[in-house]
Amino acid sequence: MRLLFVTKQYPPVAWGATDRLCRHICHSLRARGHEVTILTSDQLPQKHLNEPDVSRGLKISDQAGTRRTAGRALTWSILADLHRVGKKNRCITKDILKDNPCDLVFGWNLKGMGAGILLAAHDLGLRFCLNLADSEPGLFFRVQRTCLPSKLVQYVAERSAFSQACFPGGESIPIIASSQSLKEYLLKKGCPLERCRVIQQGLPIREYPFEPYLREKKQDLKLLYQTDDPGDRGVFIALDALGRLMREGAGKFCLSLVLGKNRRQQEEVNRFIESEGLLGKVVIENLSTHFFLPHVLKKQHVFISVSEKEEPFGLEHLEAMASGCAVVSDKEGISDLVKHKQTGLSFKPGDPEELREKIKKLMNNEELRLEIIEKARARVLKYHSFASYLDQLESYLTEIAGK
């Protein structure tokens, strides 16, 4: 099978678990005899530009329009807008696809950017499959009707391309969903998913040695919260919960807070830390291209996740469970993974008081934390091996490609 693997960033130079999984998939499919070419962005450091079998024709930007660099106007072809800005960008994508002949175009976690690639592939008669990650139900979000021209165009485009989960001619889109919860969520939104296959992601378990960080009797409970989203408000819910612990005199904790390099976010977080009386209790670290969550998890007792959207399956949760770090996350964020008091502790979304209670429970009960860790690791080994995941993925892609 000749597979064109379309992804935003390859090789993964960021910390995201799905980016690392992407690379494992590409290498493993090649090892099984498939021809895999990666189509990705050219916005990578020079040292990564010599990666074999990688085409860097995509131009990806955070904002639409024209940017000026060194006095020159540079027009960026933005995949997120390809389905609504006209024929020119569609043609750009078609030319890229023509230069990369394949049996199947596989869109890997493209979010809104999948629309342009999807429709261009359809125009060329290419077979296409779209993988939806844990955070992508918003890809099917229906914009409310409005008289504003821009919103009206967006409504029409998203409804035709996504809400119906069909190509313009009515042919359904082959989709891989990361969890049953994600599929059910989309069905509730009115998305007919006749060709949707649920394949829960797995980990190359050898990269995640089970090394739980044991807590000494009077040692602080070491917590981890990490995000690269500059608009993440979940971090403030976590800090609010810790501030409540401080005010009641339960300050036997310390938090490693790993953030992106957004200066405004860091300044806002610093002010909030001071207002909550958490100075000296929170250490802020910046995400770097060398950030690897499993290495960080070895030094933590608890991994905290506060989800702001429907995320029924999270690879970061899975990494923590595999590594021996107890997970505390909101209920909506982990419904397919973490079972309360079994493989983690869950709390009501957006409720810092309930999060405070769960952190305090683990602070005062090391036996419970170790029990959760053991059960979580067992679940990963039983249901989330990379080999099983790859077998299912390969089978479905081969079926779609007609090979």
Residues 325 and 244 in one domain: yes
Q: Comparing 135 with 186, which gets the higher pLDDT?
A: 186
Domain residue limits at 80: 2-202+385-401
Which residue from 240, 230, 227 is spatially nearest to 356, judged by alpha carbons? Answer: 240
Helix/strand/coil (H, E, C) string of 152-204? HHHHHHHHHHHHCCECCCCCECCEEECCHHHHHHHHHCCCCCCCEEECCCCEC
pLDDT in tens, 152-195: 444 444 444 444 344 445 567 788 888 887 787 777 766 667 78
Q: Model's pTM, two decimal places?
A: 0.76
How many domains, in total, are found in the chain? 2
User: Dihedral angle at the C-alpha atoms of 293, 297, 299, 301, nearest 10 degrees?
Assistant: 150
Give me the mean pLDDT over the 241-261 stretch. 93
Q: Comparing 123 with 171, which gets the higher pLDDT?
A: 123
Write out the two tokens for 91. 């043609």
Write out the two tokens for 353. 């008081």
* Type and span of the H or E element at 394: helix 386-401
Residues 211 and 171 in one domain: no
Which residue from 210, 223, 208 is spatially nearest to 301, judged by alpha carbons? Answer: 223
Write out the two tokens for 377. 């690791």
Residues 230 and 362 in one domain: yes
Residues 171 and 263 in one domain: no
Residues 160 and 89 in one domain: yes
Residues 147 and 166 in one domain: yes
Q: Comparing 388 with 316, which gets the higher pLDDT?
A: 388
| Non-local CB neighbours of 304 within 8 Å, separated by 6+ positions | 223, 224, 225, 238, 328, 329, 355, 359
pLDDT value at 354 more than 90: yes
pLDDT of res. 310: 52
* Type and span of the H or E element at 363: helix 352-364
pLDDT value at 395 more than 50: yes
Phi-psi region of 269 (alpha: psi -120 to 50; beta: other; left: phi over 0): alpha
pLDDT in tens, 258-269: 887 788 888 999
**Confidence band for 248, pLDDT divided at 50, 70 and 90:** very high
Alpha carbon distance 355, 254 (integer Å): 15
Q: Tell me which of 112-121, 223-232, 355-364, 369-378 is least confident.
A: 112-121
Cα 191 to chain centroid distance, Å, stands at: 21
Strands 302-305 and 282-286, by their bridges, are unpaired
Residues 95 and 141 in one domain: yes
Residues 232 and 296 in one domain: yes
Residues 172 and 96 in one domain: yes
Residues 175 and 227 in one domain: no
Backbone torsions φ then ψ of 207, nearest 5 degrees: -80, -5
pLDDT of res. 213: 92
Q: Label residue 220 exposed, middle or buried (CB < 10 Å: 0-12, 13-18, 19+).
A: middle
- Reduced to 3 states (helix: H, G, I; strand: E, B; else coil), residue 18 is helix
CATH number of the domain enclosing 249: 3.40.50.2000
Residues 82 and 160 in one domain: yes
Calculate what percentage of the chain has a pLDDT beyond 90. 33
pLDDT value at 49 more than 60: no
Q: Label residue 44 exposed, middle or buried (CB < 10 Å: 0-12, 13-18, 19+).
A: middle
pLDDT of res. 298: 86
> What's the mean per-residue pLDDT of the chain?
76
Alpha carbon distance 199, 92 (integer Å): 32
Residues 165 and 211 in one domain: no
